[in-house]
Amino acid sequence: MTQVEHLEKIWIPYDILYRTSESLRFYGKRKCEGLVLWLGFTDDKIGHIKKILVPPQDSIRSEDGVGYFVTSETLFSLNKLLSDTGLRLLAQVHSHPGRAYHSAADDRYCIVTAEGGFSIVVPDFGFGPCDLSHWAIYRLIEGVWEKLSPRAVKSIFFIEGKPDYQPKRKKFLF
């Protein structure tokens, strides 16, 4: 099993991207941030996102801003699910009311803690385009959440099954 930090490519079904957007919008309609987890398998430096999980969450709205809160019971069930199924937590995705960036709180309370894991921040409560190039993508590198350049995002993430999209697969060994 490949360590998450050694993953060079991540394949995501478009359906999961779309459902992520829809889930974030569900919370966004109530002016709340939402959180979605992407679980998948790893196979020789390639991560395959297979499952979207919208964990039970309390969205917080206060004068200090908005946020989300996941209980320790939820984290416990998540870890049990991962160990029962062999799935890995590859990325977490959460929305912001406006600009997409990793806040100090995001750094501190990230659910993804594995080196090489991804944290994605979606602007405008998810009401913008359902497109990774519009989202801010961070990767945990040597314990620091680093923002990936658009070029890095393009070289790592591949969307499968997008309508009218022909993935260029021949460069890769499948």
Residue ranges binding Zn ion (CB under 5 A)? 103, 106
Residue with tokens 């359906």: 15
Closest-CA residue to 156 (of 27, 11, 23): 11
Residue 30: strand, helix, or coil:
coil
| Radius of gyration for the alpha carbons in the chain, expressed in angstroms and rounded | 15
C-alpha 16, offset from chain centre: 10
Find the shortest distance in angstroms from Cβ 123 to Zn ion.
10
Residue 105 beta carbon to Zn ion: minimum distance, rounded to whole angstroms: 7
Residue number with CB closer to Zn ion (102 or 159)? 102
Sign of CA dihedral 96, 102, 105, 108: positive
Residue 63 or residue 84: which is nearer to Zn ion going by CB?
63
| Closer residue to Zn ion (CB): 78 or 120 | 120
Question: Is residue 88 within 8 Å of 82, Cβ to Cβ?
Answer: yes
- CB-wise, 24 or 46, nearer to Zn ion? 24
CB of 108 to Zn ion, least distance (A): 11
Least distance CB 69 / Zn ion (angstroms): 12
Point out the residue whose Cβ comes nearest to Zn ion.
Answer: 106
